[in-house]
Amino acid sequence: MATLRLSGPHLPFRLTSTTSSKTHKIPPFMKPPINPFSLKEICQEGNLREAFKSLANTFTSQNLSHKPPDEAYSLILDLCAAQKALSQGQQIHAHVLKSNSVNDTVFLDTKLVFMYGKCGSLFHAEKVFDDMPEWNIFAWNAMIGACVTNEEPLGALELYEEMRMLDFPLDAHTFPSLLKACAAVKDLSSGCEIHGLAIKLGFLSNAFVVNSLVGMYAKCDDVPAAYRLFSRMSGKEDVVSWNSIISAYAASGRRTEALRIFGEMLNTGVTPSTYTFVPVLQTCEEPALGKLSSGVHAIVLKLGHHLDTYVLNSLVVMYARNNRMDEAARIFRDIKEKDNIAWNSMLSGYVQNGLYDEALYFFSEMKTLGQKPDQISLVSMLAASGRSGNLLAGMQLHAFSLKNRMDCDLLVGNTLMDMYAKCGRTDYMQFVFYRMPYKDSVTWTTAISGYAQNNFPTKALNTFREIFVENMEVDLLMIGSILLACSDLKCSSLVKEIHGYVIRTGLHDLVTENTLVKVYGDCRNITYACNVFKLIRVKNVVSFTSMMSSYVDNGLANEALDLVPRMQENEIELDFVAILSILSAAADLSALRKGKEMHGFLLRNGFLVEGPIASCLVDMYSCSGILDDSYKVFNCTLNKDLPVWTSMISAYGMHGFGKAAVDLFRRMESENLIPDHVAFLSVLYACSHSALVEEGKRVFDSMQHEYKLDPWPEHYTCMVDMLGRANYLEEAFRFVTTMKMEPIAAVWCALLGACRVHSNEKIGEIAASKLLELDPDNPGNYVLVSNVYAARDRWEDVEEVRSTMKGKGLKKDPACSWIEVGNKFHVFIAHDRSHPESDEINQKLDLITEKLVREGGYVPQTKYVLHDLEEKEKVKLLNGHSERLAISYGLLKTAYGTPIRITKNLRVCGDCHTFTKLTSKYLEQEIIVRDANRFHHFRDGICSCGDFW
C-alpha cells in the first residue's frame, strides 16, 4: 500500500494506491466512435451554453441503446477547464456517472482530473484520480499539473516520488510541471535530480523540458546553471528559450545581463514575442537603465507589439518608474481596453513619484468612467493620502472601503492603519486595528510604529506586549519599531530588556544591531552603544553613522570624528547621513578643517548643497567662527527651505548680529515661508544677545497672535534671558510669574544669571530657591547659586551649597578650552600641566601677561574669582584659566596674521574677556572665542559683543 498526502484548498486528503488492484500500464487512448463535428465547432467558439444544448441534442437524437461519444464529454470538459466553469464541469461529471455510458473510463477520468485542477478544486481532482480503475501517464500528468496549478508544489513532488517508487515512466509533459513545483519551493536538490532523470530518459532535446529547467534554475537562484543550459542548446530559433533565459536574469535582478541577452536575441534574428518584452521592459524600470527605455519602446513599435495589453501595461510601469509620467499617461490613453492593471499601474506611478494630488484626481476619474477600483487601487490611494497628510481624502477612501466591503482585506486594513498613523490620528488607526478580523505581523508592526512615530511610546509598548498574549511571532520589523518607542522614552532599561530578548531568540541582523547602537545613544547609555558597535562583525556605513550620531548627541564630538579614519580604513564610502553626522560633530568642536574637508567632499562627489546639507554647512561655518562663509553657503543655496533660513538667523544671533538676524527673519516672511517654533527661537535668541528688547517683544507677540503658535518653555526662557540681560529684572520677574505654563528650571536659571550680573539680591534669592527646588540633581545649578552667593561675599551660604552638592555626589564640570592646530585638537583645563609643551605654554603666557601689564595697563579683576582666598591666590587662579592657555598655545603654533580660534565649554569670565581684548590689540592678533553663550570676535582691543554677553 502506497499512501500520498496532499493539502488541498479546503481539507487535507489522501491518495491511496493499491498495487494489487490497479494495473500500471499505459493503455492507448480509445478513439471515440462518433465525431460530433458541430459540437467541436461550438466548443472552439467558447460558447458553453450552446455546447450543453448540443450535448442534450446528442442524447435525444440517439437510440437509448447507443452510447453517447466520449469525445463529446471530452470537448465540453476541456471548455469548462478553459473557462474555469466548475459548476458546469460538475454537471458533466454527474451526467457521466448517471448515464453509465462511457467507453473509455480512464480517458474521461483523466479529463475530469484536468478540469477540476484548472477550476481550482484540488479535492475533487484527487477523488477522481483515486477512484480511477488504472493510472496512465496522462492521469499522473493531470494530477501533478492540478497540484502545481493550485499552489500545492509539495504535493506534486510527493506524487513524483510515488511515481518513482512505482517505477512509472515519465514523459516530456511530466517534467515542466515537476520543475515548476521545484521552482515554487526553491528545491534545487530535487530540481537537479529531475534534471538528471531528463538526461537519462533523453528528454534534454525537448525545448519545453529545457526551458522548464532554465526557469527552475533561475528561480532557485542558480542563474549561471540556467545560462549554461541555454548556451548548450543546439538550436536557438525558439523564442520561448530566449524568453526563459531573459526572464531568469531579469527576475534575479541582473538587469544589464538580461538586456545584453535581449540584444543577442535580436542579432540572432529571433523575433521577440509579448513574453519577451514584458521582462525586458521590467529591466528598464531601473533608473540607471532608464535611458534604454526609449530604445526598447521603439523596437516594440517596430515589431507591432504596441497594441498588446500586456506590453502596454509594462510600458506604463516602466515610464512611471523612470519618473516620466507624461509618457506613461500618453501610453495609457492609447490602451483601448483598459483593465484594472492599467489603471492601477498609473495610480501607483503617480504615488511613487510623489504626485499625490494627481493620483487623487486620477482615482476620481477612474470611478467617473465606470471602472471599479479594487483593493490594489485602494492601497495606492491610501498610500498617497498618508504620505501627503491628506486626512480628509484618507477618510473618504476609508468610507469607500466600508461601503464596498474592502476594509476587512488584510492589505487594505494595514494601509488604512498606516495612513491614519502618518496623518497623526492614532485613535482612528486603533479603530481600524481592532476591527480587522485577521492580523498579521505587518498589522502589529504598523500599530507599534504608528504609536511610536506619534509620540505615544507607552501605547507602543503595550501593543508589543499584546503580541505575546496573542502568540504572534515577533519579527525584526517589530523589534525596530519598539526600539523607536524606547528611544522616545529615553529608557535604557527597556532597551536592555529588548536587547536581551533579541540575543535569546537569535532574532537580530545588521539593521537591528545598528538600531541598538543609535537607541542606546538616544538613551544616554554611550557605554552600551559602544559595546554593541564593537560587536558588529561586518560594519556598514549605517553602523558608523549610528555610532557617530550617538557620540555627537552625548557631547563626544571628538570621538565621533575619530571614526572617520576608521571608515576610510574599511573602505566604507560616506553617504548623506554620515556627512550630516560629521558636519554636526565638526560644528560642536568648531573643527573648521574637518568641516572644510567635508564641504570639499560634497562638491567633488556631486552632492547638491541644499536641504539638511546646506543647513549643516551654514551651522558648521558659523560654529567655527566664519560667518562670511556661512552666508556664502546660504546665498548659494538655490532652494532655501525653512531650516536653512533658521540656521542663518541662528548664525547671526550667535555672532551678536541681532539686527541682521531680525532683518533676515523679516525677509524670510516676505518669501512666504511660515516660521515654525525653531525659527522663532532663533530670532529671539538673537534679540537676547543683542539687547533688542522691543524687537524681541514684537517677535514673541507675532508668534502667538499672528502665527497662532503656543510658546515652548524655551521661548519663555529666551524672553526672560533677553529682559534680564538688558537689566529689566522687575519686568522679567513679572513675566515669569504671569507665564501661561509653570516655569521650568531653565527659566529660573536665566533669571538667576541676570540677577548675578546686575547684582539683584532680592529676585536672585527667589530664583535660586526655585531653581534648586525644580532641578535638584543638576550640578550646574548649584554652581550658579554658589557663584551668586560668592559675588556677595556670603561665604557661609557658599559652603552650605557646596556641601549639599558633595552630599548628593554631584560634581561641577571643569572649565576647559580647546584649539585646533594642524589636524589635532589640544584641550586645556585650568592650570593644566598635562600638555607635553606645558612649560613653553606657561612661559609664553607669562610674557603675554607682562606685556599687557606694562603696555596695556592690565590689572587682574579678582572679583571674578568666586573663592574665599587671598588676593595673590586669586590672581594666580585667573592667570591659569583654560582659555589663556589655549591662546598662548595658539600664539606659539599659529603663523602671524592667522586668526586664533578657541572654544570654551563655559561662559568666558569678565577678566579673561578683558585679557583677550588687550591681547588682540598689543599682540596684533585676531582671536575668535566661542563660549557657552555666543561668539566673541576680538580685534584691535574691541570685542564684537560690545561687552554684552
Q: What pLDDT score was predicted for residue 12?
A: 34
State which of 45-49, 255-259, 716-720 shows the largest mean pLDDT: 716-720
**Is residue 201 over pLDDT 60?**
yes
Q: What pLDDT score was predicted for residue 743?
A: 94
Whether 747 contacts 720, CB under 8 Å: yes
Q: What pLDDT score was predicted for residue 65?
A: 42
Length of the chain: 949
Residue 947 gets the label, from left (phi > 0), alpha (psi -120 to 50) or beta, of left
Dihedral angle sign, alpha carbons of residues 317, 318, 322, 324: negative
Query: For residue 774, which amino acid is it?
Result: L
283-297, 658-672, 902-916: segment of lowest average pLDDT: 283-297
SS3 percent helix, strand, coil of the chain, rounded to 5, is: 65, 5, 30
**Is residue 35 over pLDDT 60?**
no
Whether 488 contacts 455, CB under 8 Å: yes
Q: What pLDDT score was predicted for residue 247?
A: 84
Whether 22 contacts 133, CB under 8 Å: yes
Whether 756 contacts 787, CB under 8 Å: yes
Distances (CA, A) of 336 to 290, 325, 705: 26, 19, 57
Q: pLDDT tens, 431-479?
A: 999 999 999 999 999 999 999 999 899 999 999 999 988 888 898 889 9
Which of the four pLDDT bands, split at 50, 70 and 90, describes residue 9?
A: very low
Which of the four pLDDT bands, split at 50, 70 and 90, describes residue 10?
A: very low
Q: What pLDDT score was predicted for residue 586?
A: 93
Largest CA distance in the chain: 139
Which of the four pLDDT bands, split at 50, 70 and 90, describes residue 61?
A: low
**Is residue 130 over pLDDT 60?**
yes
Is pLDDT larger for residue 291 or for residue 3? Answer: 291
Q: pLDDT tens, 294-311?
A: 788 888 888 877 778 888
Q: pLDDT tens, 683-708?
A: 999 999 999 999 999 999 999 999 99
37-51, 390-404, 759-773: segment of lowest average pLDDT: 37-51
- DSSP structure string for 378-430: HHHHHHHHHHHT-HHHHHHHHHHHHHTT-TTSHHHHHHHHHHHHHTT-HHHHH
Selected from 3.90.1150.10, 2.40.50.140, 1.10.510.10, 1.25.40.10, the CATH number assigned to the domain covering 608-701 reads 1.25.40.10
Phi, psi at 335, each rounded to 5°? -75, 120
Tell me the fold of 37-231. 1.25.40
Type and span of the H or E element at 373: none
Q: What pLDDT score was predicted for residue 24?
A: 38
How much is the average pLDDT of 579-607? 92
**Separation of alpha carbons 679 and 650, rounded Å:** 8
Across the chain, mean pLDDT equals: 88
Here the cell at position 364 is 476620481
**Separation of alpha carbons 198 and 605, rounded Å:** 54
Using a pLDDT cut of 70, give the percent of the chain over it: 93
Here the cell at position 15 is 491518495
State which of 257-261, 266-270, 430-434 shows the largest mean pLDDT: 430-434
Q: What pLDDT score was predicted for residue 68?
A: 53
Here the cell at position 386 is 498618508
Q: What pLDDT score was predicted for residue 268?
A: 83
**Separation of alpha carbons 711 and 370, rounded Å:** 51
Which of the four pLDDT bands, split at 50, 70 and 90, describes residue 5?
A: very low
Whether 24 contacts 135, CB under 8 Å: yes
How much is the average pLDDT of 907-923? 95
State which of 76-80, 331-335, 411-415, 818-822 shows the largest mean pLDDT: 411-415
256-265, 530-539, 661-670: segment of lowest average pLDDT: 256-265
**Is residue 886 over pLDDT 70?**
yes
CA-nearest of 863, 935, 839, 400 to 626 is 935
Q: What pLDDT score was predicted for residue 236?
A: 66
Distances (CA, A) of 427 to 76, 382, 420, 467, 736: 56, 17, 8, 19, 36
| Check whether domain 711-812 has CATH 1.25.40, yes or no | yes
Which of the four pLDDT bands, split at 50, 70 and 90, describes residue 60?
A: low
**Is residue 30 over pLDDT 80?**
no
Q: What pLDDT score was predicted for residue 59?
A: 63
**Is residue 749 over pLDDT 80?**
yes
**Is residue 600 over pLDDT 90?**
yes
Whether 229 contacts 214, CB under 8 Å: yes
Q: What pLDDT score was predicted for residue 235?
A: 62
